[in-house]
Structure formats: structure tokens, C-alpha cells
Structure 1
């Protein structure tokens, strides 16, 4: 279904104060994950897309933390989390999610995932249903065409660059993500890079990103077929990753799963259309 019109030019990252998050590292038994946390109540976990990090969810967390303990995770190989040499398949990420939920010991969790995070969240829900309450899967489904995954892998592998300064990072990101608002771009630039000799480099491990990108080609049909927990599928109408055909095939596989198609949004739905994303999450949880 279509879910209203986005207010053009609105930037939730500019409106929401994002300076009151608890940052910590959590040993989940198999890996140590860096997280940022805000709020209290039932557990809601956020998982970012490939090459990104937990900070991209700060604006949504700020709006949901009055009802939930919101925790956004730097997934393995990303951000300030551990970066093992191997282990970047769907099951590796799903096992991290299970380890985190068990370590937190706050009951079953709502999982909100974008792209890679959506793939991992659905996989975790299928594999560990006793740990998951529900999933909001943003712009990643089965049946993604090979050409779309080829383009994604090329973009990922091109991101490992040396940048002279933050302004250079922002310019690169603005070109790579032309529909993401300026403050969300600045949030990515501020949170996703580290100083090195000669400038700044991404926090995400290039080797881990290469392995992860290849792993995104694995068949997601079994996880979607087998998942028994409620799953909301969110797609950006203009997404170049999840085509209308891929979404239609997914809905034929699981006609019981609700779908929200966000008008005018590309793949980066939660940053491009944060208000509609927030409304979709709340409507799904409260249904």
C-alpha cells in the first residue's frame, strides 16, 4: 500500500537532538559490538545497511525512545565493532543478533533493519523465533536482480578511499546518496570515518565490506518462507535495489506480510522519508 506523501526537504536529523545517547561496547560471547542506546521500555534494536553504522538511526531512536529501549548496533565489520577476518554471511550476522538479545536479557526484541540490516533481521527472526517479537525490514527482499546486486557491490568497493577532510567526505556522500538530506549526510560523515595519516578513512573494514557484499547474493527465500514472526516490508518506490518485481515476487511468496511502499523514496528510506518510516513502524507495532 502507499502511505502518504513525503514532505519534501524535511530532515529529521536536523530537527532531533541526537546528543543524549549512551555509547558502549557489549561482548555478546562471539564478538564485541559497539552500540548506542536511548530510552526505556520494551527492547527495539536497529541494524544499518552495508558500509553504514548505528548513528544513522539516531533520529528515529530519539522519536521512539519514549516507549522503547532503543539500541542501534554497529554490525560486525562496521563502525566501532569488532572486525574479524571472516564470517560475513547472513547466519553470522543473525548469530550476533541472537547473542546480543540474550546478553541484554530484556525479553524478546523488535528488530528494525535497513538493507543489510533487514536481511539480517529476517534471518535472525527465522532462526531464533524465541528471541524476536517482530521485524521491520526496510528495502531488502528476496528476488533482487543480479544487476542490482552488481551495482551495489561496485558502490561498496568504491567507498574505501582516503579523504582529505570531513568536507571531502560530505561531498562524496552527497554524490553517492543524492536524495539523503544534508543533515543526514553530515551525520554519516561525522560518525563513519576515522583519522589516519593524510586524512580520513571509513570505519567499515574494506575486506569485511567485500565479503558482506558477496554474501548479500545468498538466497533469502528460505528465511522469508520460514519466518513465523510478524514482518513489515518497507520499500522505497524509487529503490534501485528492490525492484517492483522483486517486491511482487516476495509478496507472492508471503502474501500474509504487510507492505508499505514509500512514495518518492529511494533505497535509503529511513533517511530520505523519516516521517513515513516512523509512522509505518508505529502503525505496525500498534496494530
Structure 2
């Protein structure tokens, strides 16, 4: 049986209006700790990070927000490039009056927090980028093109529409990744991911057309102390990662052994400890 997750009673949720009148949904743990804003990956939404927020709620005021086109946020046709996503995040910071926040993001969200730190260097206290999409693009054989081809974009759109053609119960059986989580006893995670897939808009294919924040263009402008957690990759890819992260003036790169792209799912305790250790010094 799938476990349905509800927000703890002490947490709050709501909406803020950012650029172009777009409304973004967020959930917040509250508390007296420093604000930590979490940006999710391309097919997820904020509530997918509830397990991480639980782990950090005693130390931080964790804000989980839905990027445009995801979760309960608005889904306009445009505004999905790295600079757009950074502007949305800053709009959220402004509307919630979050001072000196820590920005943590995975994949697309990692790209978002790095673009935000580059474009608005005075805003974050610290940055944690978990397998940021810009590094993944940098490690592709065709390193001159941060986007993907139109055929691949259409494939993403068809995948989203396929999700929408199924009920949640059907997805939990028919989607290999979700079924794998259920089989592994990770029913809550499977449920959260299924909910996110049913809510994601096909308009987010514009993310892939827009591409990612180019390390050479953006990383040198990141002034905040930055931790980049990367998956376990081969030595050639690690060397490219080192070259890219070295462009961040105060950047630290950690490759997490035995972790794939979803580092917090594969090596949750190791990744959480790396984040805690880094933030203790910043």
C-alpha cells in the first residue's frame, strides 16, 4: 500500500507571486534556524524533498518550492531558462523576506541555485549544488551545446503526457523507477514522485530547449561559499568537474562514491553529512 504524505502540522504552505504574475507554491518548516531554500529537479516538485526537510528541520527553516511548471505553481509557456529560474527564485526570496538564505538544489535545481548565485551574488549566504545539470551538460561529448535535440525534447513531452494518461496507482506499477522504489520498500518516496509526475506540465520541455547555466559564463561570478556534490563518475569526468568547479572562487567539489545522479536517494546519510559539515563552517 502506498504511503500518502501530509505536511506536519507545524509546517506552513502558500503561494507567492513573482515575475510576470507567475504564482509559485511553497511549503515551509518554520523555526528559528537560518533559511534554507531547496530547488528540485526537472520532473520533481518541492514536496519530493520532504524527507530531506525532515532531516534538516531542527537546524534550519527549510523552504521547499515548486518551480514554474511544476507541482502547484503556475505553468506558463515561457520563462524556463536558467536566468528565468534564477529570477523566480529571487522573487520567492523577496516575497518571503528571506535574508542570507542557503540555497540548495539538485539537477535542474542545482543549475538554478548556481545561476542565482552568479546573477545575484549578494543574496545567498552559501550554496549547495547537487549534481547540477550544467555540469552534466559540460560532461557530454558535445560540450558546445547545453541543450538537447528537438527529437529528444519531443520525447520528454511524450513521456509527460504518458504520465498524465495514467492514474497514480497505474504509475506506481507501470513506471519502472517508481515500481523499483515500491519494491525496495520506499513507498513514501514513490508516492511523492508519482504525485510530482502527475502535476508537472508539458511546458517544462522549454527547460531543455533553453539549456543550462554555462560554467565558464556563470561560475566565476558566484561569490558565496559553494559545495558541489557530484555523482560517482569516471576519472575523465572528475577532471572536467574539477576544472569547472575551480571557476567558482570559493567552491568545494565532493564526488560521492557509489552514488548516481540522485545522490540523496543513493547515499542519503553520506550526502546529508557532507552538507551539514559544509554549512557548519559557513
CA distance in 2, matches of 1:90, 1:84: 15
Q: Deviations over 1:70-100 (max 9, x none)?
A: 0011001111101112111111110011111
Pair 1:84 & 2:76 matched: yes
Q: Alpha-carbon deviation of 1:281?
A: 1.1
Deviation at residue 272 of structure 1 after TM alignment? 2.3
Residues 257 and 160 of structure 1, relative CA distance in 2, 3 Å threshold: same
Sort the Cα spacing of 1:218 and 1:252 in 2 relative to 1 into closer, same or farther, 3 A: closer
TM-score, reference length from structure 1: 0.80
For the structure 1 residues 69 and 218, does the alpha-carbon distance in structure 2 shift closer, same or farther, using more than 3 Å as the test?
closer
TM-score (norm 2): 0.81
The C-alpha deviation readout for 1:43-68, integer Å capped at 9, x for no partner, is 11000010210012111111111121
- When structure 1 is superposed on structure 2, of 100-109 and 117-126 the one drifting more is 100-109
* Counterpart for residue 232 of structure 2: 237
**Structure 2 unpaired stretches of 5+:** none
Contact 2:81/2:212 (8 A) holds in 1: no
Contact between 1:95 and 1:124, CA under 8 Å: does it hold in 2? yes
Structure having the larger proportion of residues in helix: 2
Q: Which has the higher contact order (CA 8 A, sep 6+)?
A: 1
Query: 2:270 matched to 1:276?
Result: yes
Structure 1 unaligned runs (5+)? Answer: 1-13, 194-201
CA–CA distance in structure 2, aligned partners of residues 256 and 131 of structure 1: 15
Q: Matched residues in 2 for 1:256 and 1:228: separation?
A: 7
CA distance in 1, matches of 2:205, 2:78: 11
Shift of 1:150: 4.4
Query: What is the RMSD of the two structures over their aligned residues, measured on CA atoms?
Result: 2.9
In structure 2, the partner of 1:186 is 191
